[in-house]
Chains A and B, each alone.
Chain A
């Protein structure tokens, strides 16, 4: 009993870690721009597929591949912001949503064109025996996924609390005009937020691919689930995003294990709808804070 439960719990936590990273990606762009970048899921796919390209196709060493993948994702985030978000004059929210959807379709099209429709996989980061916890078998890569996510969260925490750049980005989210007045280049902060969110997504993609494989059309589902996690925790709150991500991952894996594997993907969506209907401000953000936001 306990063994099976632990097994489901750990596989849930592994997937949940990636959802948490996607949710954090949403938060980064949302905090700087109040845009929900619905292309966030595509960044995860880009991470997985580019890592395969560098490490398996070009046979580059591990760390070089990781660096190049992060670089590629950063460039794509940069291009997305400069080509589609920045040129817009007096955009409204509806337009912004549709632009990010349109970009996600373009990215998916490019990915399908360059990688085809088949799933890709590469070996785990470290070889070795799976870990045994009370009879539950846990792949080493799963520990990598959870570890990397934790590392990213700590790093981002320090970035936003301790560095000048991070503080400037947070300032944009608090009050754009005030940020401008104290000399923060808001346009540049928006650009950085897109680059950073692309990199965070890509890191998630690199880590999860050895476990769950990666194909060109995984993006929308990942985006929806990451969004569920972000909404669940209260959009804009990174602590909430992490908890939301893990919670959705675990619930999903429990449903697949105990109830019906086909309805696994519906779980997150049902949770999303329930949260939206009952407490749209999320579990960790107050209603007042939400009302102060632009939407």
Chain B
């Protein structure tokens, strides 16, 4: 792991531990929890888009599978929450394989639309055959370990951001490993990778599964925190929201996914008075950042810091 990433991870952990101490009110922590849940999905999509160069418009589908499967298993079949979350991740992985094996042979628009189609199919299934139909269902148990349920907001905050930190650690290691280098190579030229003897399709499928599993985990965490779910949380809009997070934060940097997730989750809280305009505001943010800040917030900040440092050294 690079020095900067290690430092950033330390700063993240520091902030996470500190936030409930500085501002212990439930509202701040709740927004924090949602930021963390979104960050998990965004990290997965960021690896898929920024490193493997594949677009997915179906992350809401995996997020929905995570939420529904683990809720149904724990409510109707009495599985412990942790087990049902893991089972949901397995089912998402299987769904990802079924979708990815044929779809990842396709490029560009095709994959985008295939994943969009997948997300919509899941949405329709949840509406038509999910428990409670379009109005959803509740009484979903909280997370718990060994009979000890986590039901306080603060506890959940630590749980979710702890998971984010672990996932982040794992993901950073992944993209700096041999697989990570292969991913970046695929992004630059698939043909060259094939020529070098890399199994491009296998690597892409693995990354796609990874992003699906992250989204599924986030979905389960969401369901067991809110304790009530309905299909509307898992519509195309959520996939677009996650896409916006990744692009605003910076597609080529994993930290961008976390920053983007926090910014886009906090933003509507600040823009409460534009309630009806949220779709328009997201669209404009997405359009403008695609056109003018194509690199995203984090890479731009890094460039700025490097420049400032350059000045400081030059003066000496």
The answer to whether A224 and B113 touch (CB under 8 A), given A88-B291, A105-B279, A112-B276, is yes
A95 is an interface residue with CB less than 8 A from chain B: yes
The answer to whether A273 and B117 touch (CB under 8 A), given A103-B287, A295-B109, is yes
A263 is an interface residue with CB less than 8 A from chain B: yes
Closest to A99 in B: B290
Closest to A221 in B: B120
> Which of A220, A263, A277 meets B236, CB within 8 Å?
A220
Closest to B279 in A: A109
Contact B49 A105 (CB under 8 A): no
Closest to A35 in B: B109
- Contacting residues of chain A (196-233) with chain B, CB-CB under 8 angstroms: 220-221, 224, 227-228, 231
B164 → A minimal CB distance (Å): 25
B311 → A minimal CB distance (Å): 28
Enumerate chain A residues within 8 angstroms of B128, measured Cβ to Cβ. Answer: 260, 262-263
Enumerate chain B residues within 8 angstroms of A272, measured Cβ to Cβ. Answer: 113-114, 117
> Which of A84, A112, A228, A280 meets B279, CB within 8 Å?
A112
In angstroms, Cα B281 to Cα A103, docked, is 12
- Contacting residues of chain A (248-277) with chain B, CB-CB under 8 angstroms: 260, 262-263, 265-266, 269-270, 272-273, 276-277
A128 is an interface residue with CB less than 8 A from chain B: no
B122 → A minimal CB distance (Å): 10
Enumerate chain B residues within 8 angstroms of A112, measured Cβ to Cβ. Answer: 276, 279-280
How many Cβ-Cβ contacts under 8 Å join chain A to chain B? 123
Report A34-51 CB contacts with B as 1/0, cut-off 8 Å: 001010000000000000
Contact B280 A36 (CB under 8 A): no
Closest to B251 in A: A94
Which one of B99-107, B148-156, B258-266 is at the interface? B99-107
In angstroms, Cα B109 to Cα A228, docked, is 12
Contact A224 B114 (CB under 8 A): no
A155 is an interface residue with CB less than 8 A from chain B: no
- Contacting residues of chain B (120-137) with chain A, CB-CB under 8 angstroms: 120-121, 124-125, 127-128
Enumerate chain A residues within 8 angstroms of B120, measured Cβ to Cβ. Answer: 220-221, 224, 265-266, 269
Contact A99 B291 (CB under 8 A): yes
Contact B121 A295 (CB under 8 A): no
> Which of A84, A260, A273 meets B291, CB within 8 Å?
A84
How many interface residues does B have (CB within 8 Å)? 42
A67 is an interface residue with CB less than 8 A from chain B: no
Interface residue SS majority, chain B: helix
> Which of B55, B287, B294 meets A102, CB within 8 Å?
B287
In angstroms, Cα B112 to Cα A149, docked, is 28
B11 is an interface residue with CB less than 8 A from chain A: no
The answer to whether A280 and B117 touch (CB under 8 A), given A98-B55, A102-B286, A106-B287, is no
A88, A93, A107 pick with most chain B CB within 10 angstroms: A93
In angstroms, Cα B54 to Cα A97, docked, is 11
B29 is an interface residue with CB less than 8 A from chain A: no
Enumerate chain A residues within 8 angstroms of B277, measured Cβ to Cβ. Answer: 109, 113
Enumerate chain A residues within 8 angstroms of B291, measured Cβ to Cβ. Answer: 84, 87-88, 99
B278 → A minimal CB distance (Å): 8
In angstroms, Cα B311 to Cα A83, docked, is 36
The answer to whether A102 and B117 touch (CB under 8 A), given A110-B280, A262-B128, A265-B124, is no
The answer to whether A227 and B282 touch (CB under 8 A), given A220-B236, A269-B120, is no
B283 is an interface residue with CB less than 8 A from chain A: yes
In angstroms, Cα B33 to Cα A263, docked, is 35
A170 is an interface residue with CB less than 8 A from chain B: no
Closest to A103 in B: B287
Closest to B246 in A: A98
Closest to A97 in B: B112
Report A12-41 CB contacts with B as 1/0, cut-off 8 Å: 000000000000000000000000101000
Q: A-side interface residues toward B, CB under 8 Å?
A: 36, 38, 84, 87-88, 93-95, 97-99, 101-110, 112-113, 220-221, 224, 227-228, 231, 260, 262-263, 265-266, 269-270, 272-273, 276-277, 280, 295
Q: Name 11 interchain pairs, CB-CB below 8 A, sorted by A.
A: A84-B287, A93-B108, A94-B53, A105-B240, A108-B283, A109-B282, A113-B277, A265-B120, A273-B99, A295-B107, A295-B110
